[in-house]
Amino acid sequence: MHVSGASDESGGLVDGARGGRPEALASLYRAHGAALYRLAYRLTGTREDAEDVLHDVFVGLPEALARYEERGNLAGWLKRVTARVALGRVRSRKRRGEVPLELAGPGSEPLADPDGIALQVAVNQLPNRLRDVIVLKEIEGYSHREVADLLGISVVASRVRAHRGLARLRQLLEDGR
Amino acid sequence: MTDTSLDALRRALRDLAAPAPSPELLERILQSRATGVRVNLPRSERRVAGWLWGALAAAAALALVISTRDSGRAPPDTGSAYSDIAAMPFWPPDALAQDARPPRAPRYAPVRIEARRAQAGTWVYQNCTVFDEVLTPCRGRPTTTVSTITVTNATWHGRPTWLVSQRQARERVGSPGDTMRTPLDTAYFERETLRPIYAALGGDRFRLERSFTGDTVHEALDIGGAHPRSWRRAAQIPAAPDAPLVLQWAGVDLTLLLQTLPLEGGWHGSVYTVRLVGADPSRPPFIPLDLRVVGSGHIEVPAGRFDCWKVESREARSMVTLWVSKDRGWLVKTNTRGTDWRAESVLLVATPPAP
């Protein structure tokens, strides 16, 4: 299968980006950047980290596209790459109990809805192993098989963590009322 | 949320808003590519058989033994503490696994300093490296490493400057006389800009001198002994004429710079570090150091308890977490993490004493 959707156009972009052409890379960014940024933001919890993740993904994309065999959906492949980079970043930084500054102060315009803020704060309070599964399964809509592949865990573990993550979220939201 | 049923929770999660990337991110990406920055993105993880890991480990150990055998390069009369430095092929790019590549662009705008905040003093740090959470030179292991950094008022040809000196001592526990000290690393900095004027390191057998004039750094490196070698090089400094520069030798010394940065939540800025100009062709002489505040918290170290900013410091491919005291800008703790190791440095004692 070639790239989904406007396959010829996307295929041209992939070839152009693979060759390191800035305009092709910019077009791929405009097409997929916002969705990938949302994913990175949800996995890392801060805008700065999300921007760094997206920066690294697109800077490394031309070389990485050499490994992309165009057998699947380009957007899905990009999301998997972004998720791996974001998860690697979260693992390497291992928060030590600090509240991310972004959540400690105002300035999160898209989260102006109080329920949204409460939910985002609760998601960020989850331990990483539960939070990763909640973000990938419940927010991004991956299957348990895909979550298991991305996180290097079993499908059963993904199910268990999703169940525990939702339970913990409910508890956090109820405690915060 | 008023309704926390499972279905409502799932719906709310799917509808959870997220911000958009900043408008300049694409420009930063394209600029990074244009300046030669490359990132190796992770591949799909594949399981590797245990025996293969064993074989790889054995091969790596064998390669290490072969590469570190005495090849007869060492001068016969190098009895000083720096014989290992004098004997090195300066530097072996293959052993350090570095690729020659053009410098990348700074991630953030240049730092703005408040020079008046800098103060003289002495800071003593204990350094420790932990491999696989087991081997550590400072927790029950036979050696310990202590770094002492001193900042004093000085003059350089009549100009008021800061004189910063740094020395490391590695001591075998229980054998106070069995100590290896690195050469005294000394540098003069402009008071108003924290721009280096002159820096020197080493003694008779090994000496590195760097002088800074306008937009140029001049480097003189001499290694003595039976096989003397010398380098003389100059390079143009990429930073603005009044921008601070961070000198780098064994490590990056941020003691002076951090005191003058207006750190607060969300703060970020970049500063150039200066490495070797002529003797190490495998890496660019100027590398941006990207700093940003990522959190805050209280940190307890031997010198006391400090309310700190947590600052992420990125330089090339390494990332270091710094804990900087909010009141005086003291570097209280650093943490560097690799794949199977981590290095930690904590403030043992400071003069003037901690508040």
| Chain A residue at shortest CA distance from B340 | A92
Residues of B in contact with A91 (CB under 8 A): none
Per-residue pLDDT of B194-245, as tens digits, reads 999 999 887 666 788 889 988 889 888 887 777 777 778 888 888 888 899 9
Cβ-defined contact of A37 to B296 (cutoff 8 Å): no
Compute the Cα dihedral for A171, A176, A177, B1 and give only its sign: negative
With a cut of 90, say whether residue B54 has pLDDT above it. no
Per the CB < 8 A criterion, the answer to whether B256 and B73 are in contact is: no
Residue closest to B319 by CA, chosen among B294, B336, B298, B341 = B336
pLDDT score at A176: 60
Q: Which of A119, A124, A137 to mutate to test the interface with B (most CBs of B within 10 A)?
A: A119
**Residue A29: C-alpha distances to residues A35, B26, B42 (Å):** 10, 7, 19
Per the CB < 8 A criterion, the answer to whether A137 and A155 are in contact is: no
With a cut of 80, say whether residue A9 has pLDDT above it. no
Cβ-defined contact of A99 to B295 (cutoff 8 Å): yes
pLDDT score at B338: 66
- Tell me the shortest Cα–Cα distance from B184 to chain A, in angstroms: 33
Residue closest to A52 by CA, chosen among B102, B35, B28 = B28
- State the Cα–Cα distance between residues B258 and B249, nearest whole angstrom: 18
- State the Cα–Cα distance between residues A35 and A31, nearest whole angstrom: 9
Among B48-52, B64-68, B144-148, B256-260, the range of highest mean pLDDT: B256-260
Strand ranges (E), A7-162: none
pLDDT score at B163: 92
Other Cβ atoms less than 10 A from the Cβ of B227: the count is 12
Instruction: Give the number of residues written for chain B.
Output: 355
- State the Cα–Cα distance between residues A65 and B295, nearest whole angstrom: 35
- State the Cα–Cα distance between residues A23 and B274, nearest whole angstrom: 34
Token pair 């315009």 in the structure block, residue: A109
Residue closest to A36 by CA, chosen among A91, A78, A88, A90 = A78
Higher pLDDT, A126 or B80: A126
Question: What is the average pLDDT value for chain B, to the nearest integer?
Answer: 75
Please tell me which of the candidates B16, B21, B42 has its beta carbon nearest to residue A51. B21
The SS3 assignment for A165 reads helix
Q: Strand B268-274 and strand B245-247: pairing?
A: parallel
At residue B143 the predicted structure's pLDDT band, cuts being 50, 70 and 90, is: low
The residue type of A171 is Q
Per-residue pLDDT of A60-89, as tens digits, reads 899 888 877 766 688 888 998 999 888 887
- State the Cα–Cα distance between residues B180 and B152, nearest whole angstrom: 25
Strand ranges (E), B224-340: 229-236, 245-247, 268-274, 286-301, 304-315, 318-325, 331-337
Judged by average pLDDT, the poorest of A29-33, B109-113, B246-250, B297-301 is B246-250
Residues of B in contact with A47 (CB under 8 A): 19, 22
pLDDT score at B180: 63
Cβ-defined contact of B9 to A166 (cutoff 8 Å): yes
Per-residue pLDDT of B89-105, as tens digits, reads 333 333 333 344 456 78
Q: Which of B2, B13, B324, B344 to mutate to test the interface with A (most CBs of A within 10 A)?
A: B13
CA dihedral B57, B60, B62, B68 (to 10 degrees): -140
Per the CB < 8 A criterion, the answer to whether A67 and A77 are in contact is: no
Residue closest to B307 by CA, chosen among B274, B338, B330 = B330
CA dihedral B130, B322, B32, B339 (to 10 degrees): 10
Per-residue pLDDT of B155-177, as tens digits, reads 998 999 999 988 877 765 556 66
Q: Which of B2, B5, B9 to mutate to test the interface with A (most CBs of A within 10 A)?
A: B9
Name the token pair of A138. 């419940």
